[in-house]
Structure 1
Amino acid sequence: MRPSPRLVAVLAVLPLALAACGGGGTSSTPAAPPSIADASADNRPVKAGGTLNVALNADPDALDPSSATTLVGREVFASMCEKLYDIDANSALVPQLASALPEVSEDGKDVTIKLREGVKFNDGTPFDAEAVKKSLDRHRTWEKSARQADLAAVSKVTVVDPATVKLTLTQAFTPLTAQLADRAGMIMSPKALDAEGDNFGANPVCVGPFKFVSRTSGSEIVLDKAPDYYDAAKVKLDKLVYKIIVDPNVRAANLKSGDVQVADQLATTTVKSVQSDPNLSVVSGGGLGYYGLTINTGNANGSTEEPGKVDTPLAKSPELREAFDLALDRDVINKTVYNGLYEPDCWPVPMNSPFRAADLQCAKRDIAKAKQLVQASGVPTPIPVTLTTPNDATNIRLAQVIQQMTKEAGFDVKVQTMEFVSALEQGKAGKFDTLLNGWSGRVDLDGNLTNLITSKGTNNYSGMSDPGIDDPIKQAAAESDQAKRTELYASAMKKAAEVRGVLYLYHNKYYLGTQKNVAGIQYFEDGLPRFVTAGFAA
């Protein structure tokens, strides 16, 4: 079996232009000022030893690769749960626990993956094809798994030999390698799975440069250097401690004081002050994802259930959703809430993505038309809307700006705050009217659409269900021609834009603050700081 032309063609277009920022679309504001460096350019030597304290902007959900859904959880996984594949500094897919890119049959339905040999899990258990099968089957079939949609095309996982697995697909699925470069490709210790079962997330064991030690909810997650890691000589730090610091000003203050040496997702309001500190540096990453406002249009009983009737003004009226959308000024939101450091947009595909069709444009704010639509709806004004938001200062500020903008069109937005993971749980359960939430993004656009806007998707909090969305996305996943995939995805996104279950606001860059004596961090477009080679400068 040889690498398929289907695979080679797709992988060739996946890298995104890391240097591109801002411009086009709705704004000419740069996504990152030129003074902010690329972390991968830091090649200073690192000395062995030490503890690195890293501030996270939220508490992750369960540290179980099968069920987890948060970006901060992915940040922690990056240090302790390796995947079959990963991305590099150019956003190209590369082997991680696999030893090579997949070999794909001509019909695209048989995918063979060769594995690294001589690898151990962090509990000393051998890593082999049986372990890979056990994890992939759990991702695919466990009722609590959020990976089912990621691997829906996989009908069977077969152990060929100890270093080879074969995935049998129901149809060709071009995004598979990209899916296996995220949580769907994380492989868990079979010994730990047998011991912990559904509670694996309380004591997770994978292959990684660091191993899980302890977690104090809302406070910290502690990892130690993993002695059984296959590339342990590359790992310099003795310990990683993730500290949960939700308030962005406190996070920046802790970085300045040295209580933490790294702070993730600096609020754009604190980037300048961190940059101006002679002892600190700021590096940028991310950009593959988006942030937006989800409107509950049909999530009556949970995102994975059949859509039902939602009795709110916005749910019942596409015209009111259009009016709400037209009342928003994405450029002003970027400037007033984010200091112009993000990239305003109304689509879930990055500006510089090879999947970005040329005709995906955004309408400007039109308050006059918004008022007309509100008046024509016949719904008495002010129209009540409840906006649920995570309880950090930046999201609350965003909610307040949306509240003021939409008030001009005749909406009365009440802001409801709650803890981040609780907000996601409410979203999945359909217990909301509108919700601020985002997605950290994937290199293959399928990862920004399937499971997020298709029927019964785990993260389809809006409850959208439309063949005009589902069918082209499914067709694109089975298609190897890049131009055809782009066309199909554009068709699905345009239909979703008519439904307006999600009002996309911007693509957010992530800003990582570090003490200047910290070196060796890798920070790519997925926004996940990698500490495998990190430490204190020698």
Structure 2
Amino acid sequence: MSPLKCALLVGAGLAALAAGPALAQQKGGVVNVATVGEPPTLDPMVSTADLVGIITQHVLETLYTFDKNWKVTPLLAEKLPEISPDGKVYTIRLRTGVTFHDGSDMTAEDVVASLKRWTQVASRGKQTAGNIAAIEAVDPATVRITLVAPYAPLTALLAFNNSAAVILPAEKQDNPMKEPVGTGPYKLKERKPDQYIQLVRFDGYKSLPGEPDGYGGARKQYLDEIRFVPVPDANTRIEGALSGQYDYVDALPVEAFDRLKGQKATEPVLLKPFGWPVFVMNTKQGLTESRDVRLAVRSALNMEDMLAAAFGNKEFFALDAAMYPKSYVWSTDKGTEGAYNVGDPEKAAALLKKASYDGKPLRILTSRQYEFHYKMAQVAAEYLKAAGFKVDLQVVDWATLTQRRADPALWDIYITHSPFLPEPALIGMLSTSAPGWWDTPQRRAVVDAFNSEADPKKREALWGEVQRVIAADVPFIKIGDFNALSAKAPKLEGVVPAPWPYFWNASLKK
């Protein structure tokens, strides 16, 4: 079974996933989408927040995206890149007749300017920049990327909607971004902070032909308007789903599952398995700069208790030390032995003594907008206190968290989560420029070897070496696997369950 099929089960969702949106969908209407909060930016290059990607993927597009089997597929590019025999030169033909929301034509000049901006401002772009010798326009419809050495994740990085290589007009490359002018099926009409982000149909949109295919294929514009409404309180999101106030509600606590079943105004959407919660360590400065302190944190934590507090029913979580579950080709146990679900305060205390810990508060940054983050933090704090840590649990809104984590002086651990990604190089914490700033000779050796290998089977083995170094150095701690819950109105058709929900191809049944 493919990773996507494993990840996107919802009722009889496999049939829906294969079939795509229903026939004879009706045009028109407004969809209200409740999100976990206000996005910190509408520039997906400069943010790794899922919320930013969810919203902006409707407005700003990339050269490539992912199909229903998580394979890279063209979006603004005409086809997959032509790669030279030595793996260093990528020639990308662009689709013609594509226009931006301002009416200008997309050309190679725009793509080159955008990719250069990506290498300068995006964490994943910066991660890639050292491998790039040149980005240049061959002609108005062709771009050439020349690499210093082969770099296998390049097309996947160009396809990802997170720290995304979105294509903007050449004259709109400001940083910070002044306005999100893209090529997407919807365009920004109005943003009222803490009230809504209003997207409206872009009548000049040029869709790919054929049928929808995951994030790829045709993007049909049935809806007149999509409104993303920030609803930070999880209970308010649940009540909004039950009352029919919102047509789609993202990121619900899993304990709401039984309440959503059998309702007229809403129905549960379960993504199983969805991803993994993670504690990211600040390796740049502060307490967790010390590897012994990081080891002490991991030794103190009982992952089973944390997951139980966060998700309750075992149907919604699984203990798993490996970075990927068994259904993925990347699954390996390498490096995980004795490094997971330890919950040993004495072992942790010994490591703290070795690190000459002086009682300085361990600053943990979390948010209640993802309630399971907060619940895990509460349990973790008690285990860490038992090991001898003084804990400073800082609970902020998600937008503030994403701002604070950019400053290494402000935190020691921040809590986040990630879906299981089709390409391990997409994992944000592997980038030396991402918050956490993990950068050691051992990391460079194994990550560079993994990224420069083109053979898929060899890459699987090399990923085991990356996981071994992660386990040894503890730049971040995976807590386990979890399933995610959202809700949608029965009248909302054509929404394929996905880690980053999208509403092109969606319609309202009248």
- TM-score with structure 1 setting the length: 0.83
2:224 to 238, 256, 272: 238
Q: What SS does structure 1 have at the residue aligned with 2:487?
A: strand
Counterpart AA for 1:357: T
Compared with structure 1, are the counterparts of its residues 504 and 376 closer, same or farther at alpha carbon in structure 2 (3 Å cutoff)?
closer
Are 1:441 and 1:447, in contact at CA under 8 Å, matched by a contact in 2? no
Task: Quote the residue 1:399 is aligned against.
Answer: 377
* 1:381-400 equivalent positions in 2, closer than 5 A: 384-392=361-369, 393-400=371-378
Task: Quote the residue 2:329 is aligned against.
Answer: 354
1:217 corresponds to 2:193: yes
Compared with structure 1, are the counterparts of its residues 150 and 251 closer, same or farther at alpha carbon in structure 2 (3 Å cutoff)?
farther
1:103 corresponds to 2:82: yes
CA distance in structure 2 between the aligned counterparts of 1:529 and 1:19, rounded to whole angstroms: 15
* 1:160-239 equivalent positions in 2, closer than 5 A: 160-183=138-161, 184-193=164-173, 197-200=174-177, 202-231=178-207, 234-239=220-225
Deviation string, structure 1 residues 49-104 (Cα, Å, up to 9, x no partner): 11001011122222123312210000012211121111122212111111111110
Task: Quote the residue 1:477 is aligned against.
Answer: 451
CA distance in structure 2 between the aligned counterparts of 1:228 and 1:371, rounded to whole angstroms: 64
Task: Quote the residue 1:418 is aligned against.
Answer: 396
**How many angstroms does 1:417 deviate by?**
0.9
Q: After the TM superposition, which of the residue ranges 41-50 and 423-432 deviates more from structure 2?
A: 41-50
Compared with structure 1, are the counterparts of its residues 288 and 452 closer, same or farther at alpha carbon in structure 2 (3 Å cutoff)?
farther
Give the length in aligned residue pairs: 488
Are 2:248 and 2:488, in contact at CA under 8 Å, matched by a contact in 1? yes
CA distance in structure 2 between the aligned counterparts of 1:513 and 1:37, rounded to whole angstroms: 14
**How many angstroms does 1:362 deviate by?**
5.3
1:535 corresponds to 2:507: yes
Counterpart AA for 2:363: T
Task: Quote the residue 2:301 is aligned against.
Answer: 328
CA distance in structure 2 between the aligned counterparts of 1:425 and 1:242, rounded to whole angstroms: 21
Task: Quote the residue 1:10 is aligned against.
Answer: none
Task: Quote the residue 2:251 is aligned against.
Answer: 265
CA distance in structure 2 between the aligned counterparts of 1:417 and 1:376, rounded to whole angstroms: 27
Q: What SS does structure 2 have at the residue aligned with 1:292?
A: strand
Deviation string, structure 1 residues 164-186 (Cα, Å, up to 9, x no partner): 21111111111111011124431
Task: Quote the residue 1:87 is aligned against.
Answer: 66
Deviation string, structure 1 residues 149-178 (Cα, Å, up to 9, x no partner): 244422212222222211111111111110
Are 2:221 and 2:505, in contact at CA under 8 Å, matched by a contact in 1? yes
CA distance in structure 2 between the aligned counterparts of 1:219 and 1:161, rounded to whole angstroms: 44
Q: What SS does structure 1 have at the residue aligned with 2:125?
A: coil
RMSD of aligned residue pairs (Cα, Å) = 2.7
Compared with structure 1, are the counterparts of its residues 146 and 42 closer, same or farther at alpha carbon in structure 2 (3 Å cutoff)?
closer
Task: Quote the residue 2:213 is aligned against.
Answer: none
Task: Quote the residue 1:303 is aligned against.
Answer: none
Q: What residue ranges of structure 1 are gaps of 5+ in the alignment?
A: 1-14, 22-31, 301-309
Are 2:334 and 2:467, in contact at CA under 8 Å, matched by a contact in 1? no
Q: What SS does structure 1 have at the residue aligned with 2:277?
A: strand
1:488 to 420, 443, 462: 462
Q: What SS does structure 2 have at the residue aligned with 1:322?
A: helix
Task: Quote the residue 1:128 is aligned against.
Answer: 107
2:96 to 99, 102, 117: 117
1:453 corresponds to 2:425: no
Counterpart AA for 1:528: W
**How many angstroms does 1:105 deviate by?**
0.4
Counterpart AA for 2:167: I
Are 1:329 and 1:365, in contact at CA under 8 Å, matched by a contact in 2? yes
Task: Quote the residue 1:11 is aligned against.
Answer: none
Compared with structure 1, are the counterparts of its residues 42 and 483 closer, same or farther at alpha carbon in structure 2 (3 Å cutoff)?
closer
Counterpart AA for 2:198: V
CA distance in structure 2 between the aligned counterparts of 1:511 and 1:365, rounded to whole angstroms: 25
Deviation string, structure 1 residues 106-145 (Cα, Å, up to 9, x no partner): 0011101111111111121111222111211211235x77
Compared with structure 1, are the counterparts of its residues 497 and 358 closer, same or farther at alpha carbon in structure 2 (3 Å cutoff)?
closer
**How many angstroms does 1:495 deviate by?**
1.7
**How many angstroms does 1:293 deviate by?**
1.2
Q: What SS does structure 2 have at the residue aligned with 1:111?
A: strand
Q: What SS does structure 1 have at the residue aligned with 2:429?
A: coil
CA distance in structure 1 between the aligned counterparts of 2:11 and 2:337, rounded to whole angstroms: 29
Are 1:67 and 1:147, in contact at CA under 8 Å, matched by a contact in 2? no
Counterpart AA for 2:320: D
Counterpart AA for 2:136: T
Q: What residue ranges of structure 2 are gaps of 5+ in the alignment?
A: 208-217
Counterpart AA for 1:205: V
CA distance in structure 1 between the aligned counterparts of 2:361 and 2:120, rounded to whole angstroms: 41
CA distance in structure 2 between the aligned counterparts of 1:380 and 1:86, rounded to whole angstroms: 46
* 1:137-152 equivalent positions in 2, closer than 5 A: 137-142=116-121, 147-152=125-130
Task: Quote the residue 1:306 is aligned against.
Answer: none
Are 1:249 and 1:270, in contact at CA under 8 Å, matched by a contact in 2? no
